[in-house]
Each structure stands twice: as C-alpha cells, then as structure tokens.
Amino acid sequence: MTSTHTTEVSTRRQSYTVPTHMNEPDKLLFGLTARQLLVLITGASVTYAIWLQVLTWTMAWERGLLWSRGLALLVVLPLILVTLAFTFLQIADRSLELWVVIWMRARFAPVTYVWRSAEWDEAEQRRLRTQNSAHTREGQREHEQEGWS
C-alpha cells in the first residue's frame, strides 16, 4: 500500500506560476508608475508656483483678473506640455529624461580628434590582429584545461 502511494506522488506533476511581468515597473496610483507619478507631481508643483507668481505680478500691475489669468495661462501652458511629455512620452521604450541625459552627454562631452598616418594605422591593425589571435589561443587553452569543449 505504501509503494502505490509513493508511485502516485512521484508521477503527479507539480505546476508553477512563472512571472511574466518582471521587466514591468509597478503601478502605484491611477495606473501610473513611481517615476511617472514623481514627474507629474513635481511638474504640477512647479507649474502651480509659477502660476501664482505670474498672477501676483499681473495683479500688481493693476490689470484685470481676466487679463491676469490669461497671461498666467500663456506662461504655464508650455510647462504643462513639457510635464506631460516627460511623464508619458517614451521613444524606443526609453523615457524622455533618459534621452535628455544622453543628448547632454553627447553634446557636452569633450571631443578629441587624433590624426594618424596611413602607415601607422596599417601597422597598428597588424599588431592588434596578432595580439587578439594570441589572446584567443590562450583563452582556448584555458577552457580546454578546465574541461570546456
């Protein structure tokens, strides 16, 4: 009786749930990720502070309330659009702030131009080829000694 029970247990298959969302960021609030939520809150805070500042300045100039609100809207509208772009826009599955960092690195990184003669370049290429082939042979010997095939 115990041998049949052991056989039944060993032949029964176990199923496991494989997570398929490992590369997906967690959604925190209203379907927004933590990054999106942070960018949206920061942009909204800065936009609101500038809105209040522009309203204060235009009211000090003794303009009407409608004129003041219209001018404030014109000032903060680009900020609203930039905030929404940084929150939701992705190019090639990368966020917009990452593209800005990449652009800044490329733009402000020092560029060095090196002149080399054609003869030097050919000799350097030959030297690199022989060095790489020697390195490859050495790596193959190490793998063979470790039991790699």
Q: Using the predicted structure, report yes or no on whether residue 6 has a pLDDT greater than 60.
A: no
The DSSP result for 75-122, as a single string, is HHHHHHHHHHHHHH-EETTEEHHHHHHHHHHHHHS--------HHHHH
Model confidence at 145, in pLDDT bands (50, 70, 90)? low
pLDDT in the model for residue 60 = 79
Residue 64 to residues 26, 67, 72, 83: CA-CA distances in angstroms? 46, 5, 12, 29
pLDDT in the model for residue 83 = 93
The pTM (predicted TM-score) of the whole model is: 0.54
Of these ranges, 17-31, 44-58, 132-146, the one predicted with the greatest mean pLDDT is 44-58
Q: How many helices (H) and strands (E) does the chain have?
A: 5, 4
φ and ψ at residue 29, rounded to 5 degrees = -145, 130
| Domain spans in the chain, listed from the N-terminal domain onward | 24-110
pLDDT in the model for residue 105 = 92
pLDDT in the model for residue 113 = 80
pLDDT in the model for residue 44 = 94
Q: Using the predicted structure, report yes or no on whether residue 125 has a pLDDT greater than 90.
A: no
pLDDT in the model for residue 67 = 79
Q: Using the predicted structure, report yes or no on whether residue 15 has a pLDDT greater than 90.
A: no
More confident residue, 3 or 36: 36
Mean pLDDT across the chain: 80
Model confidence at 59, in pLDDT bands (50, 70, 90)? confident
